[in-house]
Structure formats: structure tokens, C-alpha cells
Chain A
Amino acid sequence: MRGETATAPAPAEGSGGSSLLSRESLRRLAQGDLASVRVVLGLALIWIIFQSQNDRFLSAENLTNLMLQITAIGLISVGVVYVLLLGEIDLSVGAVSGLAAGVMAVLNVTHGWSPYLAITAAVLVGTAIGLLQGSLFSRFVIPSFVVTLAGLLAWQGALLQVLGSTGSINITDPKITGLANIFYSDAVGWIFCAIVIAAFAAVVFIGHRRRVAAGLTAESVATLVFRIGLVAAISIVAVAVLNSDRGVPLALLILLAFVVGMEYVVKRTRFGRHVFAVGGNAEAARRAGIPVNRVRVVVFAIAGSMAAIGGIMAASRLLAVNQGSGGSELLLLAIAGPVIAGTSLFGGRGSVWTALLGALVIGSISNGMDLLALSSAVKFMVTGGVLLLAVLVDAIARQQRQAAGRV
């Protein structure tokens, strides 16, 4: 099939079969089509800078911490990517993540529900909120910005209500705390690694065979082997590093599973194609018979559900839910991440991988500045600067596309 790899350097949209030469690649880079390559280079730069300032930054222990730190925000960003692809915004995801975590904690701790039921109920709360906000937005044509801003306030209030007078609930159930605190043994880690590589190779080769069978131009076998090799190398290095500390964390596997699964939905299924179509030109989508409003409602439901899942992971890591859960900069960082990594704010362009990449960039900056013991003042200003830089790059890429006659 088309050139997407399970790793970073995936073209945002289809490259025409076998890759063209470097000049074409450079043009595409400038126009933002290879945004993820740009981000990987940026991430490498960030890592080099922090490593040069503090040689603990790239240690196995710190990298494992980094993975745990980005799980919640990355999961929330997965839903945000869907909303951004529509060209909309969901400002309530932070508050929804807090409320869902609060619901889970109250049901599990106060009411004694089983952890599975409590988690399911919390995710359903997120789904229901998304359905509600999506319906209000699409039925009454209220800007999503306003609907979800109202949601932001309302769900923060709901969290305070749910938590009651204590304002904080500690989570002790091992099933819930395990989500962010289980690490697998070395052997299990290597088994996961083998499964990932084998599955990726199978997908690549089956896609290749289908194209050949349909008589279409297909990538050369050398390119396929290179892509598989790249994924294998990244997986092996990642597992080796994680194994040399506490092992592969369950949290990372959960994040990766959602990223891969939701990327599959958005790039390979009919529904995902419709999301891109609505984000690109809603009127054209409507005339093509796509149920535009249903797509919008489902996308907001996905955003709400992913926010809830992110909130559950955050609570699991913190071992508690309090009045600040899902508050402060979480929302802005969850939106900033995918944008930094190349999902357009203008809709119709992006990939779920940007949720992971963006979380890595933001997480790395935050983690590195913590290691350097910088103040919150500096952290906020630097993160703001990085976001502005990323949006500028997105806008410039858009202008380049327009200058090249593309909209």
C-alpha cells in the first residue's frame, strides 16, 4: 500500500508509489508533507542539547520516566488529532480527562466498584460528553470552540462535584495503579519486540503483494526491506534501553496500541477517509453522500473517549485524583503536541503518529528542563515558544503549498 511506516518518517499523505528523488523530497519537506521528518530532526536536536547539559538525560532510567510522563498526554492527543483533522478544536479534553478519572476513582474507591467496571464507566462518561458536544456543535452549528469552552468550565465543575468535600481521592486498587506502574521482564519485552517487527513486515509485504497483483506500480523490495529494517532497529534499540532499566512499561504499550489502532482507522478505513474529506471540504463531502454530521459527532465522541483514557492513565501514575486533575497546561499541551508534530490546525492534514511525536517533543522539553532544575516560569515560556515556532512552520508550509498552487 502507500508509504506509511510504523515509524516517524511517514509522508502525511500518499506518496505516488516508488519514492521520487531528493529534490522532490526537499520540496515536500518545505511544503510540510514530510513534517514528521522535520519533527524527528527537531527531537534529535532537543535530545542533543539536553544531553550536553546533563548526561543523565539520555540514561535508560530517564528515558523510561519520559515514556511514563508522555502516556497520558499522548493518549489525549490521539483524540485531539481526530478533531484537528476536521479543522475543529476541542478545548474540553483536559477537563474531560480529569472528570473521567474522578468518576473512576469515586466508583472504585468510594462505591467499591470493580476496577474494570469503574474504568469502563469512566471511558463511557468521556464518550457521552463527546457525543453531547459533537451533537451540539453539528446540529446547532455552534462553533466547536465555544461548545467545548463551555464544556471545559462545566466539566471542571463536575469534577469538583464528583470529588466532594475531600477534594482528593487516593487510588490503591492494583489493577488501576498497575496501568502506569507495571513493567515487563526482559524476555517479555523481547517477545513484544519480535511481534511488532513480524507484524509490521507482514503488513508491508501483504500490501506490496496486493499492489503487484492489481498491476500497480509498487515500491522496490529494497525499499520495503529498508523500511522494515528501520522499524526493527528502532524497536530493538527501544526495548534494549527500556530493559536495561525497569523493563518495557505497560503504559507505553497502551499508548502504542492506541496510536497504531487509531492511525489504522483514520488512514485505512472508510470512516477515516470521511474524516479527512470533511476536514478538507465539508461541502464536497456532503455532496458525495458522506453523513457529515455523523462523522463530526463520532469524532468528538472519540476525542472524549481518548481524553477519558488519558485521564485514567494520569490518575494511575499519580495514584490519586484531585481537584487539579486534568487542569492547568494539560489541555494546551495535548493540543500543541500534534500541531508541533505536523497535524494542521486548518484541517484535513495530519496523522495519529503526531500525537506520539508531539508528546515526545513536549515531554522531552519538560523533562529536560526539570533535570536542569529550571523554574516553571522558564518552562512555560520555552514551551510557548516551541508551540509558536511549530505553528509558524505549519503556516509557512501552508503558504508554500498555496504558492505552489495547492490549497
Chain B
Amino acid sequence: MSSNGALLELDEVSKRFGPVQALDRVDFAVHAGEVVGLVGDNGAGKSTLVKTIAGIHSADAGRMRFDGSEVKVSRPQDATRLGIATVYQDLALCDNLDVVANIFLGQEEVAPGPGEVSRQLDEAKMEHRAGELLSSLAVTIPSVRTEVGTLSGGQRQQVAVARSLLGEPRIVLLDEPTAALGVPQTKLVLELIGRLKERGLGVVVISHNLANVFEVADRIVVLRLGRAAGDFKAEQTTEEHVVSAITGIGEGGNGGRDQRNEREGEE
């Protein structure tokens, strides 16, 4: 199912860190307007896969196609240029800056004028665009001039997602977007993911929380020990199936070896 018209396609991608085979000939695909849940136990290779797509790691082997043509992503800037945005679990916002400054961080608008260095930030334009962006995502934040440090976890995540959309990406990668969020906050973020999908973006969500993944994903891809261990349509499968793919139990193979890891990944 992954080959017809996929926006992003990975073909037998491998990545090794010293003795650890983090990714072993993994195939992966995302279509436009599709939410893919990427699940797996700790160390299964989820983050490595996302970081490979985002250009933080470069793959040792394998091919990557974007929009049908083969691409090479070896730096984060390469991914950004293609239209792949990443929202990291943490460390992504400056708490001392306001919402506008965070959304435009590293891509500030400057007013025209002489001299690259002395040009003034175009605060009015940035504030205007940030307001538009947030309201198009139905994000409610008291004021776009609020310091990000004063926002709740869910609001911060919303700001982080909004920021990733600034460059008009076609794929958004979300690393544990609901980790450490309360129930209402999680709901906000899941709704936001739904709106990204409505915009026709391809969305990849890493999550440990299977309930959340089932709520939002169209397709669920399971990784285990660096290998693709399952690719399910969310509406045609159950949590038990996915869990057994994650743990390798009930599937034969080396399941016994991993029994101690059973469901540990929940937290």
C-alpha cells in the first residue's frame, strides 16, 4: 500500500550506531492527508527513523523518495527545504520569549532597510501572521504576546506545531506530542493533529500512548528492534494486535526473548 502516490517513501533504510543496528532495512511511507502513528517499544528505532527523515541522522543505506523523486537528506536544512517539519518532544521553545518570537524563531521577518545587521524586526507583520496562523488552527491563546513560559503544556505544544507550519511544510513529524500532558491538553493536541490532516499534510506521530494513536491515526506502523514489525489500518485492527506486534509475542520468532519488555513502553 505504500508505493502508490506516497508523499514520502523510505525504501530499506538502515542505520547503525556502533554495535547497535538501530534501523534494519525499514520501509516506511506517508501519504498526503494521512496520519501515520509510529509505535514501538523503547529502543525500537522510532526516534531514529524520525531523525533520519528529519536529516539529523543520515541513513547508512536505503533510498528516500519525496513526491516521487529520489532525494538525499543529510542535514536538517535539506529536510526543511523539501517541506518536512519536525516538532520535538522537548527543548523546542524559548520560555523567555513570547509566542510570536517563538513561532518566528530563526525565521524572523525584518523590515526593508539598509544593512543586514541593523535591519529592524518587523514585529507588526510577525504578530499579524502569527495571529492568522494560530486562528487558522483554531488555537486559543490569550495573547500572542504572552511569554511561552506562562503557557500550559498543551498550549506550548500547539505553539510548537504552529511554528513548524510557518515554512508551509507538506509533512509534519511529531515526536511524542502528548507526552506529559493532561487529558484536556491531550485532546487539544489531538484535535490539532486532525486539522493538520484536513489541510492535506502528511503527519507522522510517534507515541507511546496507543489510545491516542488509535484516536488520531489512519495507519499504524510498528517497529521492533529496528525492523518494521507491522503496518495496520487503524480501523481494521485492535490494540491487542498492535501490542503483540510491538512485543513480538504471539507472533512466533524471538518473542520469548522480549517478554520482560511487555507493555513497559506505556509510560
Query: Taking the complex as formed, is B183 at the interface, i.e. its CB lies under 8 A from any CB of chain A?
Result: no
Report the bound CA distance from A2 to B107 in whole Å. 20
Contact B94 A285 (CB under 8 A): yes
Residues of A within 8 A of B256 (CB): none
Mark out the residues of chain A between 178 and 230 whose CB falls within 8 Å of any chain B CB in the assembled complex.
210-211, 213-216
Residues of B within 8 A of A175 (CB): none
With contact pairs A2-B123, A288-B105 given, residues A16 and B96 touching in the complex (Cβ less than 8 Å): no
Contact B124 A280 (CB under 8 A): no
Q: Mark B232-249, 1 if CB is under 8 A from A, else 0.
A: 000000000000000000
Report the bound CA distance from A90 to B262 in whole Å. 52
Contact B125 A214 (CB under 8 A): yes
Residues of B within 8 A of A273 (CB): 97, 101, 105, 108, 121
Query: Taking the complex as formed, is B88 at the interface, i.e. its CB lies under 8 A from any CB of chain A?
Result: yes
Contact B119 A269 (CB under 8 A): yes
Question: At the interface with chain A, which of B141-149, B185-193, B200-208, B216-224?
Answer: B141-149
Query: Taking the complex as formed, is A1 at the interface, i.e. its CB lies under 8 A from any CB of chain B?
Result: yes
Contact A279 B96 (CB under 8 A): yes
Contact B106 A407 (CB under 8 A): no
Residues of B within 8 A of A280 (CB): 94-97
Query: Taking the complex as formed, is A112 at the interface, i.e. its CB lies under 8 A from any CB of chain B?
Result: no
The distance from the CB of B110 to the nearest CB of chain A, in whole angstroms, is 6
Contact A276 B120 (CB under 8 A): no
Mark out the residues of chain A between 12 and 54 whose CB falls within 8 Å of any chain B CB in the assembled complex.
13-17
The distance from the CB of A258 to the nearest CB of chain B, in whole angstroms, is 15
- Tally of contact residues, A, Cβ under 8 A: 40
Contact B106 A288 (CB under 8 A): yes
Residues of B within 8 A of A13 (CB): 96-98, 147
Query: Taking the complex as formed, is B4 at the interface, i.e. its CB lies under 8 A from any CB of chain A?
Result: no
Contact A405 B124 (CB under 8 A): no
With contact pairs A288-B106, A289-B77, A406-B150 given, residues A276 and B123 touching in the complex (Cβ less than 8 Å): no
- Tally of contact residues, B, Cβ under 8 A: 38
The distance from the CB of B160 to the nearest CB of chain A, in whole angstroms, is 10
Report the bound CA distance from A39 to B259 in whole Å. 63
Report the bound CA distance from A360 to B191 in whole Å. 53
Report the bound CA distance from A9 to B106 in whole Å. 29
Contact B128 A215 (CB under 8 A): yes
Look across to chain A and name the residue whose beta carbon is closest to the beta carbon of B145: A16
Counting chain B CB atoms within 10 Å of each CB, the highest count among A268, A281, A407 belongs to A281
The distance from the CB of A397 to the nearest CB of chain B, in whole angstroms, is 13
Residues of A within 8 A of B69 (CB): none
Report the bound CA distance from A265 to B93 in whole Å. 22
Query: Taking the complex as formed, is B118 at the interface, i.e. its CB lies under 8 A from any CB of chain A?
Result: yes
Query: Taking the complex as formed, is A349 at the interface, i.e. its CB lies under 8 A from any CB of chain B?
Result: yes
Report the bound CA distance from A363 to B254 in whole Å. 75
The distance from the CB of A319 to the nearest CB of chain B, in whole angstroms, is 35
Residues of B within 8 A of A348 (CB): 94-97
Query: Taking the complex as formed, is B92 at the interface, i.e. its CB lies under 8 A from any CB of chain A?
Result: yes
Contact B127 A216 (CB under 8 A): yes
Query: Taking the complex as formed, is A290 at the interface, i.e. its CB lies under 8 A from any CB of chain B?
Result: yes
Residues of A within 8 A of B118 (CB): 265, 269
Query: Taking the complex as formed, is B117 at the interface, i.e. its CB lies under 8 A from any CB of chain A?
Result: yes
Look across to chain A and name the residue whose beta carbon is closest to the beta carbon of B128: A214
Choose one: A16, A277, A401; the contact of B143 (CB below 8 Å). Answer: A16
Residues of A within 8 A of B120 (CB): 268-269
Query: Taking the complex as formed, is B91 at the interface, i.e. its CB lies under 8 A from any CB of chain A?
Result: yes
Report the bound CA distance from A364 to B93 in whole Å. 40
Query: Taking the complex as formed, is A284 at the interface, i.e. its CB lies under 8 A from any CB of chain B?
Result: yes
Choose one: A210, A268, A279, A349; the contact of B124 (CB below 8 Å). Answer: A210
Mark out the residues of chain A between 280 and 312 whose CB falls within 8 Å of any chain B CB in the assembled complex.
280-281, 283-285, 287-290
Query: Taking the complex as formed, is A270 at the interface, i.e. its CB lies under 8 A from any CB of chain B?
Result: yes
Residues of B within 8 A of A271 (CB): 117
Report the bound CA distance from A283 to B101 in whole Å. 16
Contact B95 A407 (CB under 8 A): yes
Residues of B within 8 A of A290 (CB): 105-106
Choose one: A213, A270, A276; the contact of B94 (CB below 8 Å). Answer: A276
Report the bound CA distance from A271 to B116 in whole Å. 10
Query: Taking the complex as formed, is A404 at the interface, i.e. its CB lies under 8 A from any CB of chain B?
Result: yes
Contact B147 A214 (CB under 8 A): no
Contact A1 B124 (CB under 8 A): yes
Look across to chain B and name the residue whose beta carbon is closest to the beta carbon of A290: B106
Report the bound CA distance from A285 to B106 in whole Å. 7
Residues of B within 8 A of A210 (CB): 124
The distance from the CB of B117 to the nearest CB of chain A, in whole angstroms, is 6
Look across to chain A and name the residue whose beta carbon is closest to the beta carbon of B118: A269
Contact B77 A404 (CB under 8 A): no
Residues of A within 8 A of B149 (CB): 401, 405-407
Report the bound CA distance from A276 to B101 in whole Å. 10
Contact B88 A287 (CB under 8 A): yes
Look across to chain B and name the residue whose beta carbon is closest to the beta carbon of A402: B149
Report the bound CA distance from A274 to B105 in whole Å. 8
Report the bound CA distance from A216 to B105 in whole Å. 20
Residues of A within 8 A of B150 (CB): 404-406
Contact A268 B94 (CB under 8 A): no
Contact A14 B145 (CB under 8 A): yes
Residues of A within 8 A of B125 (CB): 214
Contact B96 A287 (CB under 8 A): no
Contact A14 B124 (CB under 8 A): no
Instruction: Enumerate chain B interface residues (CB-CB to A < 8 A).
Output: 76-77, 80, 88, 91-98, 101, 105-108, 110, 117-121, 123-125, 127-128, 131, 142-147, 149-150, 152
9 A-B residue pairs with Cβ-Cβ distance under 8 Å, sorted by A, are A15-B145, A215-B128, A216-B127, A269-B110, A269-B119, A271-B117, A284-B93, A287-B88, A287-B91
Q: Given contact pairs A2-B145, A287-B76, enumerate 14 new A-B contacts (beta carbons under 8 Å).
A: A2-B123, A214-B124, A214-B127, A216-B127, A216-B128, A269-B117, A276-B97, A281-B94, A283-B91, A287-B92, A289-B77, A289-B80, A290-B106, A348-B95
Top 9 closest A-B pairs, CB basis? A288-B106, A280-B94, A348-B96, A280-B96, A16-B145, A16-B143, A214-B124, A406-B149, A289-B106
